[in-house]
Structure 1
Amino acid sequence: MEKNNPVSVPASKKLKILLAEDDVINQKLFSYMLNEITEELIIASTGVEAIKLFKENAGIDLILMDLKMPEMDGYQAAKHIRELDGVIKIFALSAFAPETQGDVMNGNEFNDYVGKPIRKAELLKAIEKHF
C-alpha cells in the first residue's frame, strides 16, 4: 500500500473480515468504509455469534471486535477465538478514551486497537500495518 495514501487498498489481496458489532448503524458504516478492501464482510451482532461465525467460515483474515456487546463481550469472544486460532488478527473496537488503548492491548488477545467514532483513514491505516 502507498504510505502517503492511508485510504488505498492493500496491494496483496482483498480481505475476508469478520465484524463483531452490535450497533446496526455502525455495521452499515463499517460495510461502507471497508467495501474497497473486502472480499467478504461477515457480520456478528454478539460475541457468541462472532465465535460461531468464525468457526463456520474458513479463511477469515481479520476480526474487528467491539468490546461492549450483548451475551458475551469482545474480550471474552477474542479469548475464545484466540484459543481456536493463535495467529488470526483481531482488532479491538472501542469508544473508550484513547488513553485506555494500552489497557485494552496489554495482556489481551488483540493485535491492534481502533477507537470510535471510527474514521476511515485511521481504520485502513491500522489494517495496512498488518497486511
Structure 2
Amino acid sequence: METDNPGSAPAIKKLKILLAEDDKINQKLFSYMLNDIADELLIASTGVEAINLYEEHSDIDLILMDLKMPEMDGFEAVKNIRKLDKVVKIFALSAFAPETQSEIVNGNDFNDYVSKPIRKADLLKIIGEYF
C-alpha cells in the first residue's frame, strides 16, 4: 500500500462506513479516528437502526458493530445484515475482552474484532488489512 508520507499509516481508499455504536462519546471518538478514510460515515445508535441504514445504503464498504446496544445487540444485527449481504466487511466492537477474539469472529459473521479502547493507528492498521 502507498503512504502519503514516510512513517504514516498505510493509505486506505475512501470508504463508506457504518458505525453502529450507542455511546455518544465513542461515536465522536470513532468519527475522529475515521475522518481520514471515511468518504461517508453513517452512525446508528441501535442494532435496528444499523439494519435500516444498511438497507438504505447497500453500498457500504465497512461496518463497525458494537456488540452491546439497545433494541438489538450487534450479534443479532449482523445476522440480519448477512441475510442481505454476505460480502460486506463487518468488524465487531467491544470493550469487554472475550477469552479469545476468535470466539467473537468465528461463527458470528464478523470479519474481524476491534477491542475498545483502541488507538487510531491500530484501527487504521486493521482496516488497512482489508482495504
TM-score (norm 2): 0.92
Aligned residue in 1 for 2:50: 50
Whether the 8 Å contact between 2:98 and 2:104 is mirrored in structure 1 is: no
Aligned-pair Cα RMSD in Å: 1.6
Whether the 8 Å contact between 2:19 and 2:41 is mirrored in structure 1 is: yes
The alignment partner of 2:53 has SS state of helix
Report the count of equivalent residues: 129
Could you tell me which amino acid in structure 2 is paired with residue 100 of structure 1?
A: T
Shift of 1:98: 5.6
Cα distance 1:83–1:6, how it changes in 2: closer, same or farther (>3 A)? farther
Cα distance 1:108–1:5, how it changes in 2: closer, same or farther (>3 A)? farther
Aligned residue in 1 for 2:64: 64
Shift of 1:121: 1.2
Aligned residue in 2 for 1:79: 79
Gapped runs of 5+ residues in structure 2? none
Residues of 1 paired with 2:103 and 2:7: CA distance?
A: 29
Aligned residue in 1 for 2:24: 24
**Greater Cα offset, 37-46 or 90-99:** 90-99
Gapped runs of 5+ residues in structure 1? none
Where in structure 2 are the equivalents of 1:1-131 lying within 5 Å? 1-2=1-2, 5=7, 7-10=9-12, 13-97=13-97, 99-131=99-131
Give per-residue Cα distances to partners, 1:37-88, cap 9 Å, x unaligned. 0100000000000000000113100000000000000000001001100100
TM-score (norm 1): 0.92
Cα distance 1:35–1:91, how it changes in 2: closer, same or farther (>3 A)? same
Seq. identity, %: 71
Q: Which is richer in helix?
A: 1
Residues of 1 paired with 2:21 and 2:86: CA distance?
A: 22
Q: Deviation above 6 Å: which 4+ runs of structure 1?
A: none
